[in-house]
Structure 1
Amino acid sequence: MEHEHVVTRRGERCGLPITIAVHSTVRGRSAGGCRIAHYPHWRDAVTDALRLSAAMTGKCAVAGLPLGGAKTVVALPPAYELGAATRRDLLHDVGDLIASLDGRYATGPDVGSGPDDMAVIAERTPHVFCRPRSAGGSGDSSPHTALGVLAALRAVCADRFGCAELGGRSFAVLGAGRVGGHLLDLLAATGATIRAADTDPARRRPGVTWLSPERRSTC
C-alpha cells in the first residue's frame, strides 16, 4: 500500500459511504477535490479515490506546489437521487471526516460538487478551498482549470507538431461539466473541430459534434 492514510466511513447523517484517501504529505499538506458520483458498488469508489489521490500527488509535484495528493469520493448508488436535505447532511459528514484528519488534508470542488458545497463543508471544518467569493473564498476554480487544460493542449501540439495553434485540429472532450463546458467554449473560440459526449443532454453546445454516451469510446 503506497498511501499514507485511507478511511471509508458511512456518514452518520446521510448513510452514504465516504472515502478519503491521503496519498502523500511528504511535500506538505495534502489537497484534492470532493467527488460525488454514482458507482456500481462502494468499493469502486474506494478504487477511484486511490487512483485520483495518487494522481494529485503527481500533479502537485509537477506544478512545484508544497502539497501532497488526496481525494474525497462519495459513492452514490446507481440511479440514486440526492435531495437538498440529504446533500447538506452528506456535506456535513464529509466535513466531519476531514476534520478528524487534523489538518493533513484540505478539499475543494470536483465532479459532483461546487463552491456552494464547499461553503457547507466549511461549516464543519476550515480545511476547505474554493468557497464562493461571497463566503470569503476564491470562487469557482473551473474556468482556471479549463485554461490550464488549454495551455497543456497547446504545449502538446507544439511538441508533437511543431506548432501550438489549435485551430483546424480535432479534439474529443468526454464530459461537459464545469471544467469540460468551459473547455468546449475555449476550444470553439480557436476554430478547432470538437467531438464531445455527456450523459446530460442539457449540456450540449452548438458547433460541437455530440456523440451519445454509449459511443464515447469512439471519440
Structure 2
Amino acid sequence: MTRPIRLLLADDQALVRGALAALLDLEPDLEVVAQVGRGDEVVDAARAHAADVALLDVEMPGLDGIQAAAALSASLPACRSLIVTTFGRPGYLRRAMEAGASGFVVKDTPSSQLADAVRRVAAGLRVVDPALAAESLASGVSPLTPRETEVLTVAAGGGSITDIARTLYLSEGTVRNHLSSAIGKTGARNRSEAAAIAAEKGWL
C-alpha cells in the first residue's frame, strides 16, 4: 500500500486547524502529521515531520503564509505549499505563486475539492481557485514600486509623515513623494484610502 500524503497545517486559529485536520484525516490517503499556529514554525515542523504538503493560512504571526511558502521553497523544496485562506484577493494569489506556492484555494472550498487539491499539489501540479485566477488576470500586477509598497504599508498603521520617515530611514520629502505617487496609482483621495485599496487588492 502506498504511504499516505503527510500534511502540515499552519493557521493561527486553533478551531480552523482542528476542523481542517478532522476533515482531511477522513481521507484514507491523507494524514495530518503536524499543526502550527505561526508562520515562522512552518519550515522546522515540515522538516521534523517529513511533511509532503503544507497547508498555509495567509495571515499568521511570525511570517505570513506567503513568506512561509517562500521559506519552504528555499529551505525544503520537497515539501510543497498550498495556501488555504479566507482572503481570496487576486494580489495574494500572484504573490503566493511568485513565492513558490503550488496552489491557492479559499477556505470555503468543499472538503472533497480541498482533498483533491492536496493530492494534485503532492503530485507536482499547480492548483488555483478558478474564480480567483480570472480575477487576478483581470486586476493585473500591482502598479506600486517596492518602495511605494513599503511606505504605504507603514502608512497603513497610522502615524505622521515624520514617523514613517523615521521608521524607513527616509527623508520626509521622499515619503511625501512616494505617498503621492501611491495615491495617484490607486486612484485614492488620501493615503489611508490608498492603503485600504492596496490591501484589498492584496498588493500590501
TM-score, normalization: structure 2?
A: 0.29
TM-score, normalization: structure 1?
A: 0.28
Larger strand percent: 1
